[in-house]
Amino acid sequence: MDRRSFLTVAGSAATGSLMLPRFAIAQARPFSYYSVNAFSGNFATSGKYSDLGVRAAVTAFGNGLGRPIDYRKIDSEGNPAIAVRKVQQAIDQDKARHFGSAALSNEALAIMKEIDKSKGVYITYVGADEVTGKDCNRSTFRWGLPTYGAVNTVMRPLIQQNPKWKKVYTITGQYVFGEALLRNAKAVMQETKLEHVGNSYHSLAEKEFSGYLGNAMGSGADVLVVLNFGANTLDLLRQAATFGLKQRMAVVVVWFSGLDTFQALGADVTDGMYFGLQYWHTLDTPANKDFVRVYKGEFKENPRFYSAADYQVATLMFDAAKRAGSDEPAAIVKALEGHSYQGLTGDEQIRPFDHQVSKNYLLVRGKKKAAMKDADDYADILSSSRALIPQAESDCKLV
């Protein structure tokens, strides 16, 4: 376990606030916050930017809690079993109670059960519907729309705007998250009368997609819908560009992490493709402007999705503890339930019945390189929505 302790003090004569004496801060009991992510292994990129986001949150929150924030990292290594073991260790040995992050749905689904058993509190942003669906629990909250919201936000407007699309081929990651995307995509296709002409499954470790792309090109589909994540998406889209696939059919990537993946692929690959995003750094909201200012001040670059997501979930945790006036998870849970606030994507609310945040999910289109206004101007935002499963249809039964 890697430990980073931040002692932050906010205040100035100009604002009329008081600077706490150093000895008072030093003697105050820190608020401990544990971020669980893959800081090594195949998904270490998520951990790298996750860390920057939490650090920006600590900086931005300043002395809002009136005491230091003790930020610690738990390296899941991208493995649910390792994540569970290390979280259990933190709970047993360090009395850890406040947790955030996790880039992979299977990790979050595993550790949220352990955190709930210990009566802790956990805020994540993974995509599997089950997190705030059938596997929901009192301790767990989610910022970030699940797969249901992503699929509906991306596919419905594109289908409406492209009446010539009749046939769809899908390529799907064969794991919890991919299955959830496919299930929701099939529901949308059935309702909108699109023909699903085929699907190719691939493993999390897959790197060679030529066979799957060949199947898509030979299927007669008008559009390829990509239902995977991370390195799998990068490898697939690079190979799709080599095949000249986007000259033969539209390409829709329902779940894309954002700036880091655009940078890795380049505009020559992403130009003209459609992507679903939880976050984009140019969002014109007060909270995002504040975040980008702090982040760029600290790290001299625009924030990626993982940085934004971890900034938001850490800020939610710190703010809830402040409003509750307590470190007790039960009090923090109560402060989070039903809370409305100005989030990165605008007005955001935490639904009390399933602990799901209602926020905007974005549909964007990749820009031509010649049209980019700056080095990070890879996409235009076409629309957004906050499609969520209504309470009457939810599988979440909090007890």
- Residue 67 domain-assigned (yes or no): yes
Query: For 56-112, how does the pLDDT look when each residue is reduced to its tens digit (9 = 90+)?
Result: 999 999 999 999 999 999 999 999 999 999 999 999 999 999 999 998 899 999 999
Residues 374 and 266 in one domain: yes
Separation between Cα atoms, residue 260 and residue 136, nearest integer Å: 30
Q: What is the pLDDT of residue 2?
A: 53
- Residue 345 domain-assigned (yes or no): yes
Residues 273 and 300 in one domain: no
Residues 116 and 168 in one domain: no
Separation between Cα atoms, residue 33 and residue 97, nearest integer Å: 8
Per-residue burial over 191-213, b if 16 or more Cβ lie within 10 Å, else e, is eeebebbbbbbbebebeebeebb
- Residue 398 domain-assigned (yes or no): no
Q: Is the pLDDT of residue 123 over 50?
A: yes
Closest of 69, 60, 8, 61 to residue 296, by C-alpha: 60
Residue 203 is part of a domain; what is its CATH number? 3.40.50.2300
Separation between Cα atoms, residue 107 and residue 35, nearest integer Å: 13
Residues 129 and 82 in one domain: yes
Q: What is the pLDDT of residue 27?
A: 57
Residues 271 and 201 in one domain: yes
**Count of domains in the chain?**
2
Mean pLDDT of the chain: 93
Residues 28 and 9 in one domain: yes
Can you give the length of the chain in residues?
399
Closest of 337, 330, 323, 321 to residue 33, by C-alpha: 321
Residues 188 and 237 in one domain: yes
- Residue 305 domain-assigned (yes or no): yes
Torsion on CA atoms 365, 50, 326, 85, rounded to nearest 10 = 120
- Residue 64 domain-assigned (yes or no): yes
Query: For 2-38, how does the pLDDT look when each residue is reduced to its tens digit (9 = 90+)?
Result: 544 444 333 332 223 333 344 444 457 899 999 999 9
Cα 352 to the chain's mean position, in Å? Answer: 20
Q: What is the pLDDT of residue 4?
A: 47
Query: For 299-347, how does the pLDDT look when each residue is reduced to its tens digit (9 = 90+)?
Result: 999 999 999 999 999 999 999 999 999 999 999 999 999 999 999 999 9
Separation between Cα atoms, residue 44 and residue 26, nearest integer Å: 33
Residues 121 and 219 in one domain: no
Residues 132 and 219 in one domain: no
Q: Is the pLDDT of residue 254 over 70?
A: yes
Query: What are 51's two structure tokens?
Result: 């860390």
Residue 110 lies in domain: 2-145+282-358
- Residue 251 domain-assigned (yes or no): yes
Residues 98 and 202 in one domain: no
Q: How many helices (H) and strands (E) does the chain have?
A: 13, 16
Name residues whose C-beta falls within 8 Å of residue 132's C-beta, 6 or more positions apart in sequence. 140, 142, 146, 354, 355, 356, 394, 396
**pLDDT band, very low/low/confident/very high, at 373 (cuts 50, 70, 90):** very high
Q: What is the pLDDT of residue 350?
A: 99
Separation between Cα atoms, residue 325 and residue 335, nearest integer Å: 10
Residues 249 and 370 in one domain: yes
Name residues whose C-beta falls within 8 Å of residue 56's C-beta, 6 or more positions apart in sequence. 291, 294, 295, 298, 299, 303, 307, 311
Integer CA distances (angstroms), 203 to 170, 177, 196, 209, 236, in order: 14, 12, 21, 11, 12
% of the chain with per-residue pLDDT over 70: 93
- Residue 399 domain-assigned (yes or no): no
Residues 270 and 388 in one domain: yes
- Residue 65 domain-assigned (yes or no): yes
Separation between Cα atoms, residue 238 and residue 234, nearest integer Å: 6
